[in-house]
Chains A and B, each alone.
Chain A
Amino acid sequence: MTDAQTLFRQGVLAVREKNIAEGRKLLTESLRLDPNNEMGWLWLSRTVSKAEIKLQCLDRTLRLNPANEAANAMRQQILNEINHRDAPPSAEVAETEEEAAPPPKPKRKTPTAAQQRQIQGWLSSAERLVEQEDVEGAIDKWIRVLEIVPDHEIALPSAVRHLSRQKHIDDAHDLVWDAIHSDTENPAIYLTAVDIARYQKNEYEANELRERLALLPTATEDMISELVDHYRKRDEHHQAETILLNGIQSHPQSQKLLVQIGDLLTDWGRKHEAQTYYERAARLGTRTKEGKVADQKLLATAPLLTDKERGSMTLAWREAAGVGVAYLLLGWQDAGLNMAFMGVSRWLGVLLSVAGAYLTITATSSPQQQPLGRLFKGEPPEKPKRKHEDAPSEAAGPIPAASELPIIPTHIRLILGSVGAVILLIAFWLVFSQAITLLVNPVPPCIPTIEQLINGEAHGC
């Protein structure tokens, strides 16, 4: 299920990045693993060119969820297009790879000085006309401004507001879409477009706009959060997830969004994936409120072992040093608690213990150290699977997140582990030689009598 979801997300991202062929391939593979993913069929419909195949995909979506508004809207749109072949293709539905490219947009031009003067004049005129209650005349002036600057921050809201009041919603819609097509990054324009689409009961278009809004670099975290809340209230988890993924793409450092997607996935029962987002948020710092929240949420579950820790040679040597310390203490005691009497063999034993421990650790707990993994021509491990996918309480150790680091091949690890174990035994014999000799040649100890003990003469024995 997780694999299918991962492929689904990768497919969606590929489609968004206009890599339609790759998106189609990933989505098809995802649906092969999980044919009950309604959103998968919906997205697949956007990657195919033929209207009939598109309809088949949408029918699969609607079979899984007859209430899917987006699928219904798209289906209706395609049916209309089939009925009116002469009609221009929908801007929202990508037909082919070529058609999937963004529609030709008017190039953004910086108005010349003369145009700017003209704009100022039209804006002043529009203001006067509004005062004289000649709204039609004012709208005409604003539209002239918008022909030069389609997303003008005064002309557009003024024109849209007055057009809406006069119930010319279609005209307002066109103005807003002209601004959107001009690559505007003003999130207020997208929000206005969403309102218009909702007024026109075009939920499909509204959803598309929300997704595009989430991708804007100017869209704030709060805006994206509000969009997500909108979908979560309506139990549209897939849409909420899409918005959040888009938002994270444009705000990769946003702890708020990372925590929010973690919460969403937790509610959805995808706890392991949620943890990756909590971990990501926490790694950005725990001084912020969201960072603390993310870290605390991780406390309720198991943490993630990342490639940074897996691949670290220093951390593996640190563990080996822990074994070395224990061997040093053994050797020190074996020398009668006098370090000066440890001798070469015991020191050699201590050094060997570190080397042996390192080999054993490499074979067991740190087999992905770099560059060893690459040196031994290892492959990245297969994605680990848990017996109980969402029951970390029943499993031991950190959650095995997907890793790209090559792992040392098993046969090499077996050899390293065996050599390490042998070295550790030899090192033990070297550091503990005196104690071993005493153990194999036992001599009864001198035990003080009870009277000696009572009289405090134990040392006399």
Chain B
Amino acid sequence: MLSPIILFLYFLFYFLLNVILMAVYTPLPVSDTGTVRYRTMPWGTFALIVINSLVFLLWQAPEYYQAETVADLAPYINKLWMYGYRETHLLRPDSIGAFTTFTSMFMHGGMWHLFGNMLYLWTFGRRVEDACGTVRFLLFYLMSGMVANMFSGILNPSTVDLPGIGASGAISGVMGAYLILFPGAQITCMWAPAGTWLRMPFVWLMKVLHIPGFKDAKTWKTESVMSINPIKNTYIYLHNSLISLPAWTQLLFFLILQIAPSIEDIQGGKEVGGVNTLAHLTGFLAALMIFLYVRKDLLTRYFAGRAL
């Protein structure tokens, strides 16, 4: 039995770690700046964004946002229970069985849930789709979503039967595939002003030491000068709302952030609703199967150590 002080210190450490990581390393990816080699129109990504948005806005949101009393939420909850993923209900007659693996992937729990997922899908999906082709990309997307649904259920010993919804498991798979295929690609991110002060020493060090890979976004015009480089006696820009970062930094940090809560879920079982980090983690790991879905020549090029 851990003493309350150790528990408190653990909590404090974990909280601070999260705050630092969130503040310093939570740039919001908004676009992939890399070259799209096949110049494929990302119809698959577009279609997924449109379907997810329509399902939420037309089918879920009215009942969710127009509810004035708790009782008004009943139709919304009915849908969650009917079409959300519940691993215990795959064989029960009062469900649609394993079809929920598909339906749950296109449902969301709120506007921000939808927005965040679609933003990540937009950022990382296009290039992965380009590497796979539309049909194979969609198959990979569904496969990742299925892996996330299945293994977050299998690995979580919780007895509470809350339905899982959201595209994040599948999108985590896409992000994992991006990490495998294009780790060095640059991602344009929006960095919250709140993080400016926290990242100041890091950016300053990077600038002074000329650490490659961290570039200022060229597109942003309203830069503010925050400090003076003491070595070169020139201005350096510490505050930039848009910044290009190597994909691996964000994706690895995303992965790391999922690990601790996932282990917690596996150990004790998640008893309440919220972010299913275990689905993120397992979806991310499903990306190891991306080599079954990428284009033929890209596969040979990848293993020859050539640029993708």
Contacts and interface: CB of A to CB of B under 8 A. Distances in A.
Given A309-B300, A398-B295, A322 B39 contact: no
A302 B308 CA distance: 10
Contact of B97 (A300, A326, A334): A334
B216 interface: no
Contacts of A398: 38, 295, 297
B39 A396 contact: yes
A315 B299 contact: yes
A459 B160 contact: yes
A309 B301 CA distance: 10
Nearest to B297: A309
B292 A325 contact: yes
Nearest to B158: A459
A322 B37 contact: no
Given A315-B296, A322-B140, A396-B41, A333 B35 contact: no
A337 B86 CA distance: 11
A148 to B, nearest CB: 52
Interface stretch (A171-179, A249-257, A434-442): A434-442
Interface stretch (B12-20, B21-29, B71-79, B234-242): B71-79
Interface in B271-308: 271-272, 289, 291-293, 295-301, 304-307
B38 A302 contact: yes
Contacts of B58: none
B128 to A, nearest CB: 14
B134 to A, nearest CB: 9
B160 A458 contact: yes
A262 B39 CA distance: 21
B162 to A, nearest CB: 6
Looking at A310, A434, A437, the one whose CB has the most chain B CB atoms below 10 A away is A434
Interface in B47-103: 70-71, 73-74, 77-78, 81-82, 87, 89-91, 93-99, 101
A435 B35 contact: no
Interface residues of A, number: 62
Contact of B81 (A337, A434, A447): A447
A336 B39 contact: no
A432 interface: yes
Given A332-B150, A336-B91, A394-B39, A282 B306 contact: yes
B245 interface: no
Contacts of B300: 308-309, 315
Most buried by A among B39, B71, B147, B305: B39
B224 interface: no
A392 B40 CA distance: 10
A322 B96 contact: no
Contacts of B305: 286
Given A326-B139, A396-B38, A450-B70, A305 B97 contact: no
A407 interface: no
B169 interface: no
Interface string A319-341: 10111011001101110110000
Contacts of A394: 39
Interface string B134-166: 001001101100110110011000011110000
B292 A445 contact: no
Contacts of A305: 296-297
20 contacts: A286-B307, A319-B293, A322-B293, A325-B143, A325-B292, A326-B142, A329-B150, A333-B90, A333-B98, A337-B153, A396-B41, A397-B38, A398-B38, A439-B97, A439-B99, A441-B93, A447-B77, A450-B74, A456-B272, A458-B162
Given A286-B304, A286-B307, A305-B297, 9 more contacts: A299-B307, A310-B296, A326-B143, A329-B150, A330-B146, A337-B154, A437-B97, A439-B96, A461-B161
Interface of A: 282-283, 286, 295-296, 298-306, 308-310, 312, 315, 318-319, 321-323, 325-326, 329-330, 332-334, 336-337, 365-366, 392-398, 432, 434-435, 437-439, 441-448, 450, 453, 456, 458-459, 461
